[in-house]
A and B are shown apart, each in its own frame.
Chain A
Amino acid sequence: MAEAAQMQVSDEVAITIQNMNKWYGTFHVLRDIDLTVQRGERIVICGPSGSGKSTLIRCINALEEHQAGSIEVDGTLLSSDLKNIDKIRSEVGMCFQHFNLFPHLTILENCTLAPIWVRKTPKKEAEETAMHFLEKVKIPDQASKYPGQLSGGQQQRVAIARSLCMRPRIMLFDEPTSALDPEMIKEVLDTMIELAEEGMTMLCVTHEMGFARQVANRVIFMDAGQIVEQNEPEAFFNNPQSDRTKLFLSQILGH
């Protein structure tokens, strides 16, 4: 476990969020978020439901619009300029709670679609890349099947491979294991751990505290749209500072 925590984190900045605020109508979902992510950092974001953790990472690739403050990803400022948004999205991979694979395309086509159309990669090369990543998530033999024919865990691994085919520099995970049966959670987490060990910059919203202990080098706790506490995993779990964090940890680790 310790080796994971020692993985290289560079000084280079991947994401800078400054004073970011977001409202849904009049509801203030995110309040004054300040967050800097170094390249190679693996951050786990946890917190009670409705605390804004999903919204936070969805703001990073502009699936949600923020109304105040600034987000800079890889040196590109996220503004309403569509070109910037498309540039950031092609650098940032995302995995969703419900996988969101394209059901009308085969697994291989799911993986090659964005490289072919966004990156203009030749089809053959895109297919080689796709097979490489499908092997990495250990399902190359399913390449010609459709998503509906795969189990949940397999679908989520395909979703991870699909993102990786774009060779992203940052990966966002939005509760990737919440919709899975317990025996499938492990196969997805193993894939994510492997990815982390290769030095991918990761932001992961999850309730898998074992995963947080094993690979994260920072755990962020959010409540009511604010970052309440952030610390290294050991310190976070063994010595939480705020009462809200203590209550949350006692609830999810208590049983």
Chain B
Amino acid sequence: MSDTQAQTVAFVRETEIPPSPPPIREAGAVKWVRENLFSGWFNTIMTLVALYIILRIVIGVFPWFFNGVWDAGSIRECRDILEGATGACFAVLVDRWDHLLFGFNYPQDAYWRPTLAFVLLILAAVPALFYMYVPSKFLIGTALYPFLAYWLLWGGTLWLPIAVLAAIILTGVVFRLVESMTVSTRTIVAGIVGLVAGVGLAYLLYLGAKELWFISTSIGTGGAFAGLMSLVFKAFSIFTYVFFIPMGIFVGYAIYQSASDGGLVTLVTSLLAIALMMLYAVGPVSGVLNGIIPIELAAVESRQMGGFMLCMMLGAVCVSLSIPLGIVLALGRQSSMPLIKGVCIVFIEFVRGVPLITLLFVANVMLAYFFPPGSGLDLFLRVVIMITMFSAAYIAEVIRGGLAALPKGQYEAADSLGLNYAQATRLIILPQALKISIPGIVNVAVGLFKDTTLVSVISMFDIVGMIRGPIQQSTDWISIYWEPYLFAATCFFIVCYSISQYSQWLERQLQTDHH
């Protein structure tokens, strides 16, 4: 029985002829080369020029790279080993490996802690990044990670992060409790909370007004400018006394009035609860618990953090904080309530209009003035606040673009089904707006990650700070440039390229308009 001959009717083919291969000129590498490299005389010349340039670069770099010295104690030893030949001195990376990764001040016997934190970071990120493939119960691990990482990196007692976690959970309980109260019970709660919040706000404003007056008197009146500034601060101070302090009381009254609706009371009660717990309960409770069952690691201060570890810490914390804050700001800017909209616009425009370096200087020096002596915020926290604010403002604008790109019909369809604002935003608007905004958000995130090297200007020794300071200025490694910077560039490239690849993968996953 033949392949093509039919048994029944002679002229009917029963089996398909296998497809014949295309002509050799139309297939495989030959076709690709002909179409992409030699499609015309101009492209042929360009290909040859490019080949020549690539060849020159390879010839230049290869000896430098492969002659590289990996084992030497100083740059002079390197030169002796090379005996005038071209070659890199990678020995600096080996010699200062710990400093490049952890900074020069982090206790050596504790290097396992950041290393473990880094490994756990990757594990904790998986459920969040690949949420469509990982069961959602693993997200609990992601949520617990920050507390564990804090303990590993800074040390101290484990009870402190546990107490903070407990405070957050308790706040959630308070939220649920107030939400489910009957109106009459909630009115009583609203009365108490309104009183506390109103008086508290008024008191804070009173402190602020006093502070402004103090500044105005300490500026003095020497010279026209100082006199003017003094007057301005006096005016602000009086304005606060006359206008803002009564407003603080009024806010308390407004909270009391909104008891029947519930939303505002619930929110303010929860915020008040967590603020009070953080200020007065968390410290003593963790101290007592640690007295009973001590679980402690040697404490490390923020100033001792450094190297690429510092960049990773700042990058991970600031990216994960600035995206939610950016979403809130973007939604706030779209709000129909003038006060919320105004606050968001002023915040975004102000922060975007200021260079990050000035914000970092403010974090380093100025913020200390705003807090009562002794309660100064940790340096790392101050830097995190500033970088987060900075990138949140950018992310807010990116997301606003995504929100604006959604057809009006999506809002109308959500409304017409009876979804309220929170539901429509969470279920319909944000999933689509964020999907559109992914490239923009990733752009900001990558930029933010690289901007963490700017902390070296406020004498925090991140990887660039380490290279510029302790490494290049040591007598052993004086004036070594290419090798450590190449290493830093490689570290950043690996992380940034991974972020970029992940975002492209995510975009493909979220694509729903193709078959």
Nearest chain B CB to A217's CB is how many angstroms away? 24
Q: Which of B410, B412, B514 contacts A63 (CB 8 A)?
A: B412
Check B512–A101 contact: CB distance below 8 A: no
Bitwise interface map of B from 435 to 460 toward A, beta carbon under 8 Å scored 1, else 0: 10000000000000000000000000
CA distance A89 to B418 in the complex (A): 5
Check A63–B415 contact: CB distance below 8 A: yes
CB < 8 Å A-B pair total: 72
Check B409–A104 contact: CB distance below 8 A: no
Q: Which residues of B contact A146 (CB under 8 A)?
A: 512-513
A192 at the interface (CB under 8 A from B): no
B420 at the interface (CB under 8 A from A): yes
- Taking CB atoms and an 8 Å cut-off, the chain B residues in 496-514 that contact chain A are 510, 512-514
Check A89–B416 contact: CB distance below 8 A: yes
Q: Which residues of B contact A62 (CB under 8 A)?
A: 415
Nearest chain A CB to B329's CB is how many angstroms away? 23
A244 at the interface (CB under 8 A from B): no
> DSSP class of A's interface residues: helix, strand, loop or mixed?
mixed
A118 at the interface (CB under 8 A from B): yes
- Taking CB atoms and an 8 Å cut-off, the chain B residues in 396-445 that contact chain A are 407, 409-410, 412-420, 423, 427-428, 431-432, 435
CA distance A94 to B435 in the complex (A): 27
> DSSP class of B's interface residues: helix, strand, loop or mixed?
helix
User: How many residues on the B side are at the interface (Cβ–Cβ under 8 A)?
Assistant: 23
B25 at the interface (CB under 8 A from A): no
Nearest chain-A residue to B410 (Cβ)?
A100
Q: Which of B410, B417, B510, B512 contacts A113 (CB 8 A)?
A: B417
Bitwise interface map of A from 75 to 88 toward B, beta carbon under 8 Å scored 1, else 0: 00000001000110
CA distance A102 to B415 in the complex (A): 12
Nearest chain-B residue to A117 (Cβ)?
B423
Check B413–A101 contact: CB distance below 8 A: yes
Q: Which of A86, A90, A104 contacts B510 (CB 8 A)?
A: A104
Q: Which residues of A contact B432 (CB under 8 A)?
A: 102-104
Nearest chain-A residue to B515 (Cβ)?
A149
User: How many residues on the A side are at the interface (Cβ–Cβ under 8 A)?
Assistant: 29
Nearest chain B CB to A77's CB is how many angstroms away? 17
Check B416–A94 contact: CB distance below 8 A: yes
Known: A146-B512, A148-B513. A114 touches B417 (CB 8 A): yes
CA distance A113 to B423 in the complex (A): 10
Q: Which residues of A contact B409 (CB under 8 A)?
A: 96, 98, 100
Q: Which of A90, A103, A114 contacts B513 (CB 8 A)?
A: A103
Nearest chain A CB to B292's CB is how many angstroms away? 44
A61 at the interface (CB under 8 A from B): yes
Q: Which residues of B contact A96 (CB under 8 A)?
A: 409, 412-413, 416
- Taking CB atoms and an 8 Å cut-off, the chain A residues in 113-128 that contact chain B are 113-114, 117-118
Q: Which of B413, B510, B513 contacts A100 (CB 8 A)?
A: B413
- Taking CB atoms and an 8 Å cut-off, the chain A residues in 56-73 that contact chain B are 61-63
- Interface residues in chain B, defined as those with a beta carbon under 8 Å from any beta carbon in chain A: 407, 409-410, 412-420, 423, 427-428, 431-432, 435, 510, 512-515
Query: Apart from A62-B415, A94-B416, A104-B512, what 15 extra A-B contacts exist at CB < 8 Å?
Result: A63-B412, A92-B416, A96-B409, A100-B407, A101-B413, A103-B432, A104-B431, A104-B432, A113-B417, A114-B418, A114-B419, A146-B513, A149-B513, A149-B514, A166-B418
